[in-house]
């Protein structure tokens, strides 16, 4: 298994994701980590509730990397956007992406992010749910945003920490959760497993 180490400090967990946003968020709370992406089938099961869907994928990602022989506890997360019960994952193409943004425009949607930690004992999960309200967006701006390239691999077709921030009229919940790794829930999982955060912080 190929593992990269993003920091000189010895990692205390393995992150089952190549997402630069999740790496930045872990660094923000002082958690040195190795990285080993988990490539899994992210298909939604028939009639699967959105919360169950993200929790299942987070657990699957964590367990997949652990079962490959990762020596460290494995942290994984999965994020999806939900509008009136419908799941909006990553756009499959331009048409899909434009349709997603048009559906979200002027409305409030939910962003669900599940976090899982796989240790030698078990796999534990926590779920964060946040609500995001978009202002109205006209077709020309939706098309211009798509052409930036940012929406192509983002759940719901936007990035709150990027250019997509200009669409957000209101946020209720966790900014880091909408980015893809809710830090409150992540820290709780680490703390419960006896894993430190704030490593390197002044004492």
- String of b and e for 65-81 (b: at least 16 CB within 10 Å)? bbeeebebbbbbbbbbb
DSSP lists the bridge partners of residue 88 as: 81
* Distance in angstroms (rounded) separating the CA atoms of residues 165 and 100: 16
Q: State the Cα–Cα distance between residues 193 and 119, nearest whole angstrom.
A: 8
CA angle 196, 189, 168 (to 5 degrees): 105
Radius of gyration of the chain (CA): 17
Which residue do the tokens 């211009």 mark? Answer: 144
- Distances from the Cα of 56 to the Cα of 52, 91, 100, 114, angstroms: 6, 20, 23, 9
78 is catalytic: yes
Q: Which of 10, 52, 67, 78 is catalytic?
A: 78
Identify the residue whose tokens are 């978009």. 134
Residues designated catalytic: 78
């Amino acid at each position: 298994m190929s593992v990269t180490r993003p920091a000189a400090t010895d990692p205390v967990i393995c992150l089952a994701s190549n997402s630069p946003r999740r790496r930045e968020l872990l660094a923000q709370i002082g958690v040195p980590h190795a990285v080993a992406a988990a490539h899994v089938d992210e298909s939604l099961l028939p009639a699967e509730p959105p919360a169950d869907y993200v929790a299942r994928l987070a657990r699957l990602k964590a367990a997949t990397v652990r079962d490959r022989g990762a020596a460290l506890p494995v942290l994984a997360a999965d994020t999806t956007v939900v509008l009136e019960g419908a799941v909006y994952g990553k756009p499959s193409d331009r048409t899909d992406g434009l349709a997603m943004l048009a559906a979200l425009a002027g409305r409030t949607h939910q962003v669900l992010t599940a976090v899982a930690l796989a240790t030698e004992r078990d796999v534990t999960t926590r779920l964060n749910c946040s609500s995001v309200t978009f202002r109205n967006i006209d077709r020309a701006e939706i098309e211009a945003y798509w052409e930036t390239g940012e929406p192509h691999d983002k759940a719901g077709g936007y990035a709150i920490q990027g250019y997509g921030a200009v669409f957000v009229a209101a946020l209720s919940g966790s900014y880091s959760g909408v980015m893809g790794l809710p830090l409150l829930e992540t820290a709780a999982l680490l703390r419960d497993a006896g894993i430190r955060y704030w490593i390197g912080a002044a004492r």
